[in-house]
Structure 1
């Protein structure tokens, strides 16, 4: 089961799924899809929120691509609420938390 964040809506999963299947998505095109029943401005806000949480990456001009973190979320390998990978998984776009403290 996907571990969605309390900040997420049902539209977020659909947006992520569409962008994953098409490699990138433009806000205007997403808003015109049959499976998306929210306005273009709402799609834009949702894409921005998904980007803020690292699931999408803005490419400019209202175009977004899915990140490795977004793919992991769709594959049930990432907890969007706690922003952690499940089962010790990791990804290239995950922030690095290991720094050497040796002198």
Structure 2
């Protein structure tokens, strides 16, 4: 099960899924998808929030790409609430779920 953050909405998962499938997502294109039923301004806000938490990277002009953290979150290997990898996963972005930084 994905470990979402209390700051996340159902649309965040859809945005991340589409961004992963397409290697990048433009806010305008995301709003045209049937899977996302919120306004362009809401999609833009969600992308900015996901970027603030390290799950997306802004490329400019409303285009975002998924990060390693975002991929790990979708693969149920990252806890978005505590911003930690689960089960000894990749620790390049910070401490593991046990609270220790691995090298």
Fold match (TM-score > 0.5): yes
**Greater relative contact order (CA < 8 Å, ≥ 6 in sequence):** 1
Q: Which residue of 1 aligns with 2:73?
A: 73
Instruction: For 1:58-69, list aligned pairs within 5 A.
Output: 58-69=58-69
* Conservation of the 8 A alpha-carbon contact between 1:68 and 1:91: no
Size of the aligned set, in residue pairs, is: 97
State which structure, 1 or 2, has the greater radius of gyration over its C-alpha atoms: 1
TM-score by length of 2: 0.89
- The CA deviation string for residues 18-69 of structure 1, in whole angstroms up to 9 with x for no partner, is 0000000000110111110000000000000000000000000000000000
Structure 2 gaps of 5+ residues are none
**RMSD between aligned residues:** 1.4
Structure 1 gaps of 5+ residues are 99-103
Aligned-residue offset at 1:91: 5.0
TM-score by length of 1: 0.89
C-alpha separation in 2, matches of 1:6 and 1:76: 16
